[in-house]
Amino acid sequence: MELYVHIPFCRKKCAYCDFASFAGREDDMEAYIQALLTEARMRYDGQCSVETVFIGGGTPSVLPPPLLEKLLSGLREIFSLQPGIEFTSEANPGTLTRTWLATARSFGVNRLSMGAQAAQESLLRMLGRIHTWKDVVSSFELARDCGFSNLSLDLMFGLPGQSVDMWEETLDKALELKPYHLSCYGLIPEEGTVLYRKLETAELSLPEEEEEREMYDKAVRTLSENGFEQYEISNFAKPGYACRHNLGYWRQVPYLGLGVSAASMLMEKNRDGYERTANTPDLTEYMHSIRETGSAVTERTYISPEEARFETLMLGLRTTQGVSEEAFRKMHGVELESYRGPELKRQEKLGNLMHVQGFWRLTRRGMDIQNSVLVDLMDQTD
Ligand code: SF4
């Protein structure tokens, strides 16, 4: 099982952010950590051990070190963690301190994922980030100094005002920091955000689609030339450093999510499918519900065996390794061939999929039109 813990506090809301994250709620931090630990005790039955932990947000690095210590020691007490576990925390430049890092390290956090986004101050300001690139560099140095070597950076492309040259500069500057892992996300403007409004009123405009594709291609090429393996559409790692937690999501390893808006996917007792749940996205309601009932689940969806089979296909095709026929058979008790054979072969003929040593994966062309390939495969399911 995987464990996700959501820390919803941020110094300031970024212009593009539609995650469950809140600025100015520092007074709620202590009660929130208490609620998280209560939820953990209520929901973990001790049946299976935890393979990976991911503390995300929000900005976990804004937690004062004593609260971080309370959270981490509580989690270690409640959960049975496997030896050699991957234990990640997200962190943001401009918030990291030596004491926070030392606390995280002493409780077993062994991987940090930092939101850097862009190397140009103009873009960082436009995104509403609280840090400069200089802060990214000094946070990296500080993290290394505190014993972290497994460091990851998040970068964004397809931003308003971003040229291909600027993106190239961001990639180069990120590579100078020698991270083990890079995530490169294309901007998706989300309704309700400041950035979305500015795009609607034409105060900002996005790069052309062709330019955005060039940025993505540049990332794939540059990172491969620098020894990174692309293991998913947006994720690149040095050999052996692919994020195990992310890979688990795409391989449908059951996960428990704690905190505001956190999602969980757990096997249904006495049924063949999964149950997917989501907690309330409202911070006050979350703490109140946990206090009163021990649960803050507001959404419950049963994923039938048929839906689970399609998810295996869809999630597997996000990864560069693809969908394993053997893993599919083990998980669902049917051959991938008999489930979607003709459709997969049709996509192979179109040059969108390839079949290599027991894996079905997207070709480079298929990656570009991934959504339409998936829609096509899905249409056949109905
Ligand atoms: S730091 Fe991350 S979670 Fe917080 S507001 Fe910015 S994008 Fe959202």
What pLDDT, on a 0 to 100 scale, did the predictor assign at position 159? 98
Coil, strand or helix: which one is 128?
Answer: coil
Ligand 1 atom with the shortest distance to the CA of 92: 1
What pLDDT, on a 0 to 100 scale, did the predictor assign at position 270? 53
Instruction: Name the helix (H) or strand (E) containing 51.
Output: strand 50-57
**Residue at 346: amino acid letter:** R
Within 8 A by CB and 6+ apart from 313, the residues are 323, 328, 336, 339, 340, 377
What pLDDT, on a 0 to 100 scale, did the predictor assign at position 382? 43
Which protein residue has the closest C-alpha to ligand 1 atom 7? 17
Ligand 1 atom with the shortest distance to the CA of 12: 5
Give the integer Cα–Cα distance in Å for 50 and 257: 12
Whether ligand 1 lies within 6 angstroms of the CB of 207 is answered as: no
Which protein residue has the closest C-alpha to ligand 1 atom 6? 14
Is this prediction's pTM over 0.85?
yes
What pLDDT, on a 0 to 100 scale, did the predictor assign at position 269? 58
What pLDDT, on a 0 to 100 scale, did the predictor assign at position 304? 87
Whether ligand 1 lies within 6 angstroms of the CB of 21 is answered as: yes
End-to-end CA distance of the chain: 31
| Domains of the chain, earliest start first | 2-248 (3.20.20.70), 316-381 (no CATH)
Give the integer Cα–Cα distance in Å for 266 and 273: 9
What pLDDT, on a 0 to 100 scale, did the predictor assign at position 264? 95
Task: Report the C-alpha dihedral over residues 58, 246, 309, 327, rounded to 10 degrees.
Answer: -160
What pLDDT, on a 0 to 100 scale, did the predictor assign at position 268? 66
Strand partners, 89: 55, 112
What pLDDT, on a 0 to 100 scale, did the predictor assign at position 374? 84
Q: Give how far Cα 57 sits from Cα of 7, 61, 89, 261, 309, Å.
A: 5, 9, 9, 10, 30
Identify which of 12, 14, 26, 159 to mutate to test ligand 1's pocket (most ligand atoms within 8 A of the CB). 14
Within 8 A by CB and 6+ apart from 243, the residues are 86, 88, 111, 113, 152, 181, 235, 237
Residue pLDDT tens, the chain, 382 long: 999 999 999 999 999 999 999 999 999 999 999 999 999 999 998 888 999 999 999 999 999 999 999 999 999 999 999 999 999 999 999 999 999 999 999 999 999 999 999 999 999 999 999 999 999 999 999 999 999 999 999 999 999 999 999 999 999 999 999 999 999 999 999 999 999 999 999 999 999 999 999 999 999 999 999 999 999 889 999 999 999 999 998 888 899 999 999 999 987 655 567 889 999 999 999 999 999 999 999 999 988 888 888 889 999 998 888 999 998 998 888 999 888 899 999 999 999 999 999 999 999 888 878 888 888 887 754 4
Report yes or no: 95 and 61 within 8 Å, Cβ to Cβ: yes
What pLDDT, on a 0 to 100 scale, did the predictor assign at position 117? 97
Give the integer Cα–Cα distance in Å for 37 and 21: 19
